Amino acid sequence: MEATFKPGFLKGKIVLITGGATGICYGIALGFLKYGARVCIMSRKLPNIQAAIESLKKESGSSEIYGTTCDVRKLEDIEKAVDYFIEKVGKIDVLINGAAGNFLVPFESMSANAFKTVIEIDLQGTFLVTKVVHAKCLKGRGGSIINISSTLQVCGVALQTHAGAAKAAIDAITRHLAVELGSQGIRVNGIAPGAIDGTAGFEKLTPEGGLSISMKETIPLNRLGKKSDIAECAMFLASDAASYISGQTIIVDGGAVLTFPNF
């Protein structure tokens, strides 16, 4: 990533990124590290955390990265993980809710448990982690929360009823908490990424046999997204440059929601 922002502009910020060991959230962690923040990541799988810490150190040149396991569906896990980070870094200023699970499934064959699982990871996970971090770190101090959603819920996408429902509700949480927590000096915003190249999510959500149309040609900016596109939006929203922005979910998709047909 080139120096889009002033080097060191995030120095002093302490960021917790759920799902930060892989995909889009790994890219966000890398961006924050490169610009001077201290970064905490959590993920369900220990090997993912260990590998991410090692490669984030190498890629960023920073050693200010901390990680632990956590299933965002479990309140006790979250309490334990947040306590671990507080012990390591003292506090959290910025929470990025990115942990998610997804798969393509037709509505008619989606089991109740399949729907529930994605709602619990994406939506309830966002709620629970926010609750714990607010109580332990943000209340009385202020800070910033960034919820990662998607563009699925904006136009309605086949095979994604479970994830679209969760992401729509996450966008609602962004607005509700922006109103409720604003007087505490807490800004709450969201990012809705489009198709981001090089992520498991993108691979998982491309239908078997591939797409019948060229995505690149359909996207107004004629390219897939990069992880750094999302990282840069997150860094802006977390920074003082966004100090009067709250309650907004920014779509970062090259304009794709305007033109992308369903599959």
Nearer to ligand HXC, 89 or 110 (CB): 110
CA angle (162, 163, 166) in 5-degree steps: 90
Q: Can you tell me whether residue 12 is helix, strand or coil? A: coil
Task: Work out the burial of residue 215: count CB atoms within 10 Å of its CB; fewer than 13 is exposed, 13-18 middle, 19 or more buried.
Answer: buried
Nearer to ligand HXC, 151 or 228 (CB): 151
Binding residues for ligand HXC (CB under 6 A): 100-103, 105, 111, 113-114, 117-118, 150, 152, 163, 200-201, 204-205
Nearer to ligand HXC, 181 or 205 (CB): 205
Q: Which residue is nearest to ligand HXC (CB)?
A: 101
Whether the Cβ atoms of residue 263 and residue 212 lie closer than 8 Å to each other: yes
Least CB distance to ligand HXC at residue 242 (A): 23
Nearer to ligand HXC, 109 or 212 (CB): 109
Whether the Cβ atoms of residue 202 and residue 104 lie closer than 8 Å to each other: no
Least CB distance to ligand HXC at residue 93 (A): 25
Which distant-in-sequence residues (6+ apart) come within 8 Å of 18 by Cβ? Answer: 25, 41, 42, 43, 70, 72, 95, 96, 97, 98, 99, 125, 129
Least CB distance to ligand HXC at residue 42 (A): 13
Q: Can you tell me whether residue 240 is helix, strand or coil? A: helix
Nearer to ligand HXC, 31 or 164 (CB): 164
Least CB distance to ligand HXC at residue 199 (A): 7
Least CB distance to ligand HXC at residue 146 (A): 15
